Amino acid sequence: KALGHPARIAIIEYLLKVNSCICGEIVNELSLAQPTISQHLKELKNAGLIKGSVEGNSVCYCIDENGFEKLKFFFGQVAFHIENKNTNCC
């Protein structure tokens, strides 16, 4: 679900591109309202894909490397099972 919305994909892509924490500039990069971006950031954080820390009046976000390692492992397992799938099914 966390990666099921194009805005969340765009946020992840932006965080990967800048390769550092962002504190508010993402609103300038995406054509979405601040409350919308905040909601998507919350979903990504709840899924463990990003992490946030409070700095002054802002929350700064960055990629959660542990979360991405888990995701990478999961998709690796899926790819393995697809490659070794019995092709006699449906």
Domain containing 36 — which CATH number? 1.10.10.10
In a domain, 43, yes or no: yes
Range of the domain at 47: 6-64
Q: Is the pLDDT of residue 88 over 90?
A: no
Q: How many domains does the chain have?
A: 1
Taking the CA atoms of the chain, what radius of gyration do you get in angstroms? 16
pTM: 0.77
Instruction: Say whether 33 sits in a helix, a strand or coil.
Output: coil
pLDDT at position 89 is: 62
Instruction: Say whether 18 sits in a helix, a strand or coil.
Output: helix
Query: pLDDT tier at 87 (50, 70, 90 boundaries)?
Result: low
In a domain, 83, yes or no: no
